């Protein structure tokens, strides 16, 4: 994969995901991706050709009225705090963007629409509405995320920002090996 990134003639932007953290080798993964030329976002933005790409991993916690609340045992409060922290990191990164066109890059889903197709039992582990609440406070041209391998390709935040699930299996199911998103 690093060879593919090095050969790419356009900027490559991304965020780490749960499998990158599972390895417990996050620093090594980051080092490899950055050395291959990827603009790895973790609470910051990268601007190119008049477009700001803003990225965080995001986190889980569920959607809408069924989103987990910070209530009960300490471990549950810690879990919810991580979800809130990622949404705040996204908000802080968005506040630093002065560009008219912004694309949000996430690993976890910000809306339920793009996880539909996954088993209902795992919806809370595929993303969090906290991310879409943050996104909807800003002018965002598009949002891309992965993680939901059997979800739907497209949806919208409550305020209308287009959201694309670009997980490889979903992207492949559209019949195209890539997508062009107009921002």
Residues 108, 131 contacting (CB under 8 angstroms): yes
Name the CA radius of gyration of the chain, rounded: 16
Determine the pLDDT at residue 1: 67
Taking the C-alpha atoms of residue 145 and residue 142, their distance in angstroms, rounded to an integer, is 10
Q: Count H helices and E strands in the chain, helices first.
A: 6, 8
Taking the C-alpha atoms of residue 24 and residue 105, their distance in angstroms, rounded to an integer, is 22
pLDDT in tens, the chain (183 residues): 678 878 888 899 999 999 999 989 999 999 999 999 999 999 999 999 999 999 999 999 999 999 999 999 999 999 999 999 999 999 999 999 988 899 999 999 999 999 999 999 999 999 999 999 999 999 999 999 999 999 999 999 999 999 999 997 777 777 777 778 888
51-55 and 44-48 as β-strands: parallel, antiparallel, unpaired? antiparallel
Is the torsion defined by CA of 138, 102, 91, 16 positive or negative? Answer: positive
Beta bridge partners of 47: 52
DSSP 160: -
Determine the pLDDT at residue 130: 97
Chain CA centroid to CA 183, Å: 17
Domains contained in the chain, CATH given: 41-173 (3.30.750)
Count CA atoms closer than 13 A to 159's CA, side-chain side: 15
Beta bridge partners of 52: 47, 102
DSSP-based three-state secondary structure for 47: strand
Taking the C-alpha atoms of residue 22 and residue 126, their distance in angstroms, rounded to an integer, is 16
Taking the C-alpha atoms of residue 113 and residue 164, their distance in angstroms, rounded to an integer, is 10
Chain CA centroid to CA 9, Å: 23
Tokens coding 67: 């989103």
Beta bridge partners of 101: 51
């Amino acid at each position: 994969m690093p060879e593919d990134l090095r050969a790419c003639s356009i900027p490559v932007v991304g965020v780490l995901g749960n499998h990158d953290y599972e390895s417990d080798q996050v620093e090594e993964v980051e080092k490899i991706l950055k050395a291959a030329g990827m603009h790895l976002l973790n609470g910051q933005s990268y601007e190119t050709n008049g477009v700001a790409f803003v990225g965080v991993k995001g986190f889980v916690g569920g959607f809408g009225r069924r989103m987990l609340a910070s209530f009960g045992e300490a471990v549950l409060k810690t879990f919810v705090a991580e979800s809130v922290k990622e949404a705040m990191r996204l908000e802080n990164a968005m506040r630093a963007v002065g560009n008219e066109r912004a694309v949000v890059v996430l690993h976890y889903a910000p809306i339920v629409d793009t996880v539909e197709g996954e088993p209902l039992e795992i919806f809370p582990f595929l993303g969090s509405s906290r991310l879409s609440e943050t996104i909807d406070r800003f002018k965002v041209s598009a949002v891309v995320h992965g993680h939901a391998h059997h979800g739907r390709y497209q949806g919208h935040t409550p305020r209308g920002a287009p959201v694309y699930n670009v997980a490889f299996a979903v992207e492949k199911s559209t019949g195209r090996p890539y997508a062009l998103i107009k921002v």
